[in-house]
Every structure is written in C-alpha cells, then in structure tokens.
Amino acid sequence: MKNRHWNRILLDNRGLTLVELMIVLVLSLMLMAAVFMTFQLQHASSRAQTEVAATQQDIRAAMDIIALDIMHAGLSQDPSVKILGIPGGTSGTDTLRLENDGTVDGVTRVIYRLNNGNLERDLDIGVTQVIANNVTSLTFAYRGTTTDGGSQDIVPAMGGTLTQDQARTVRFIRVAITKESEQVDAQTGQPVQRTLSRWVCRRNGDIDEISVP
C-alpha cells in the first residue's frame, strides 16, 4: 500500500497549479528584494566610509603642511638675524602669516587663508597652492608662555588681528579645519563633515614671554 502511494506521487506529471506558481513567484520576488536591499545598504555604507576616510585624509594632509610651516616660522641660519616669524597686523583668527629666512625651500613668506571653500597656501614667489577644497571653516588661536612658567591665551585685538606685541609672544598656534566630502551621504542626503584641530608649537624665531604680575 505504501509503495503504491509513493509510486503515484512519483508518476504524477500534472505539474504546478497557477496558484502554486504565483506563490513561488511572489516568494522569489521577496527574496530577490531582500537581497537587493541588503546590497544597497552595504554599498551605501561602504561609500559613506570611503567619503569619511577621504575627507579625514585630506584634512590631515593639509594640517601636516600647516604644522610644518609653523615650526619653520622664524627660522634663521644666521644667529645674528632675528626673525619674528609671525608679523603683527597680518595674522588673526582666520588668516595666518608666517616668515623665515627661506633656507628650507626658498620661500620666506607663507599666508594661509580660506577663499571660497579653498584652503590656500599663498607663497611670496608668486604661487598660490590649494591644499584642500570644500573647506567650510579655518580658524587660528594663539597661546604664549608666561614669565612664571605658565601659559596664557592670546586674544587678537579688535578686528581679529594680532598686534605686533601680541605676535612676538606667540609660542603655540591652534589650527582648526572643517571640511565637507565631495559626495553627499546616501543615507542623510548631506555631505560628510569632519573637523580636525591641533596645537602646534613654534620651534624657531624671536619669541617673548608674557609678563605676569
């Protein structure tokens, strides 16, 4: 009896009914949709991570260039020549001017500023380099050492520019850069934004201490 039952099932060549076929088709479409959605999410996540990595790498590269110029500010191979490094009346919260004797790369003056989203490195040899684009913010802060061994923030005078006396006491410079990614994040519809800030210590130049009572 059992063998006849299985033989009947095996020899049944009627195929699938329309209802069964529709059920299989719907289940297949649901499975394909789930696989496609998973792929889309993974692709969007991978793209966002790539944009974040590229943005962070661009900021770090720009920061390294600025930090190196700050450390060279005031550099002079001739001990008898005193170079201030940061001229007063030119550097402030959104612009930084640095000077040295040009022994490093033939450049004696560098100015950093933000121009229409481009972080510019303007050289006195008639060349302006764009070291980062899509930059939304570039700020500088200053700090000096005091005569009692401490440190003190230096707030630029009215107009956001360091005076000559203030510039002579700058020992540390804080650089903060905010940059947006080239492409928008598929999940948020907004560009990926990252900020990097760093305090850089000057190593050269004629630097005064801040007098404290």
Which pLDDT score is estimated for 88? Answer: 77
Q: Which residues pair with 99 in a beta bridge?
A: 109
Which pLDDT score is estimated for 65? Answer: 95
Question: Whole-model pTM?
Answer: 0.77
Which pLDDT score is estimated for 200? Answer: 96
C-alpha angle with apex 132: 126 to 137, nearest 5 degrees?
A: 105
**Residue 5 or residue 173, greater confidence:** 173
- Give the residue from 48, 62, 72, 95 showing the smallest Cα distance to 196: 62
Answer yes or no: is 65 within a domain. Answer: yes
pLDDT tens column, 99-144: 888 776 777 899 999 999 999 999 988 899 999 999 999 999 999 9
DSSP string of 62-94, one letter each residue: HHHHHHHHHHHTT--SSTT----SS-TTT-BSS
What distance in Å separates the CA atoms of residue 44 and residue 37, rounded to the nearest whole number?
10
Which pLDDT score is estimated for 97? Answer: 92
Other Cβ atoms less than 10 A from the Cβ of 90: the count is 16
Total domain count, the chain = 1
Statement: residue 202 has pLDDT above 60:
yes
What distance in Å separates the CA atoms of residue 141 and residue 147, rounded to the nearest whole number?
20
What distance in Å separates the CA atoms of residue 191 and residue 181, rounded to the nearest whole number?
5
Statement: residue 10 has pLDDT above 60:
no
Going by pLDDT thresholds of 50, 70 and 90, the confidence category of residue 83 is confident
Q: Which segment of 86-90, 95-99, 109-113 scores lowest on mean pLDDT? A: 86-90
Answer yes or no: is 102 within a domain. Answer: yes
What distance in Å separates the CA atoms of residue 52 and residue 147, rounded to the nearest whole number?
43
Answer yes or no: is 58 within a domain. Answer: yes
Answer yes or no: is 159 within a domain. Answer: yes
Answer yes or no: is 137 within a domain. Answer: yes
Statement: residue 72 has pLDDT above 60:
yes
Statement: residue 75 has pLDDT above 90:
no
- Any idea which residue has 């490195």 for tokens? 121
Backbone angles phi, psi at 70, to 5 degrees: -65, -40
pLDDT tens column, 152-180: 999 988 778 899 889 899 999 999 999 99
Which three-class secondary structure state does DSSP give residue 193? strand
Percent of the chain scored above 90 by pLDDT? Answer: 40
Q: Are 94 and 139 in contact (CB under 8 A)?
A: yes
Answer yes or no: is 28 within a domain. Answer: no
**Residue 172 or residue 6, greater confidence:** 172
Range of 91's domain? 40-201
Average pLDDT on 186-201 reads 86
**Residue 194 is inside which H or E element, if any?**
strand 191-201
Tokens in use for 30?
A: 């649901």
Answer yes or no: is 51 within a domain. Answer: yes
Answer yes or no: is 19 within a domain. Answer: no
Which pLDDT score is estimated for 4? Answer: 61
- Give the residue from 90, 34, 95 showing the smallest Cα distance to 66: 95
Going by pLDDT thresholds of 50, 70 and 90, the confidence category of residue 14 is low
